[in-house]
Amino acid sequence: MQNLTMKLANNGHTVDLTVTGDPVSITGGGLTNVYIVQQFHFHWGKEDKRGSEHDIDGKYFPMEMHIVHYNSKYKNFTEALNKDDGLAVLGFLFEVGKYNLRFDRIIKHFSEIPYKDEHTDIETFAMRDLLPENLDGYYRYHGSLTTPPCYESVTWSIFYQTIEISEYQLDQFRHTVHENYINETIRDISDDYRPPQCLNHRKIHCSKPVVLNSKTTNRNGRTSASATLVSVTAITSLIFLIKLFRIVF
């Protein structure tokens, strides 16, 4: 790809890919502006039954990918970070399935970044290749970053269609990148997800009708001030977003 760089890094909490060069952007889908890709990263669990930061009707997933964009009306990511309309994050949930060759372009480099603060430039690729075929269906809400400083600056879009990945590939995430510096006791990065938070009367919209289990999930015990929850209780207020994402990669 022309004038594009992807830097893969182990920051001790996750692996992230920072994208620089010619802006890669998204627009549409109810977003009021063009948003430029800054980086993407993953959250995963030690076991298949956990790892995602969002649950759908009480169901968790073994991994979740976040593609972080900033609003092009701001100079850069840092300036956008604490603005109400500063960031748009696309979230993709993973399910255990067949081997996903497309993720090998990332996973094969884990051996170069086993320890905290290590990084490597990797060959660039079309990010669209990593995503599910169908991007029409997604949940939308306004929420926060899920890592400190947890600013309430994110327009979240969580897509219905999951990405398949094999157990073997998930194990590469679980066991080949570590949260410690080199020469320290090895500790795997795992369970690097933030649990769902209380909705606090926020509405979650979805782009088209969804049929969910009618059981509701009791979240009353949760008291945090920010919301990163997708639950059936909130889906009762459906708003149909007319425009779909036009993703320009």
Beta strand pairing status for 87-96 and 163-165? parallel
Strand residues in 22-74 grouped as ranges (E):
25-28, 35-44, 63-71
Interior angle at CA 237, CA 216 and CA 232, nearest 5: 20
Total residues interacting with Zn ion, rule: CB under 5 A: 1
Nearer to Zn ion, 54 or 66 (CB): 66
Whether residue 65 contacts residue 91, with contact meaning beta carbons closer than 8 Å, is answered with yes
Contact 31, 75 (CB under 8 A): no
**66 near Zn ion, judged by CB under 5 A:** yes
Q: What residue type is 108 in one-letter code?
A: K
**Closest CB 198 distance from Zn ion, rounded Å:** 19
Q: Which stretch, 63-71, 120-128, 211-219, 223-231, contacts Zn ion (CB under 5 A)?
A: 63-71
The minimum distance between CB 237 and Zn ion, in angstroms, equals 25
Residue range at the interface with Zn ion (CB under 5 A); choices 61-69, 170-178, 182-190, 204-212 = 61-69
Closest contact distance (angstroms) between CB of 192 and Zn ion is: 9
Q: Are 203 and 141 in contact (CB under 8 A)?
A: yes
Interacting stretch for Zn ion, rule CB under 5 A, among 58-66, 158-166, 176-184, 211-219? Answer: 58-66
214-223 long-range contacts (CB < 8 A, ≥24 apart) are: 215/57, 215/58, 217/57, 217/58, 222/195, 222/196, 222/197, 222/198, 223/198
- Whichever of 19 and 208 has its CB closer to Zn ion, that residue is 19
Tell the smallest beta-carbon distance from residue 147 to Zn ion (Å).
7
Q: How many CB atoms lie within 10 A of CB 38?
A: 22
Shortest CB 13 distance to Zn ion, Å: 9
**CA-to-CA distance for 182 and 190, rounded, in angstroms?**
17
What is the set of active-site residues?
13, 74
66 vs 140 by CB, closer to Zn ion: 66
Residue nearest Zn ion (C-beta atom): 66
When asked if residue 54 is in the footprint of Zn ion (CB under 5 A), the reply is no
Asked whether position 174 contacts Zn ion by CB under 5 A, the answer is no
**Closer CB to Zn ion, 12 or 237, in the complex:** 12
Interacting residue ranges for Zn ion, rule: CB under 5 A: 66
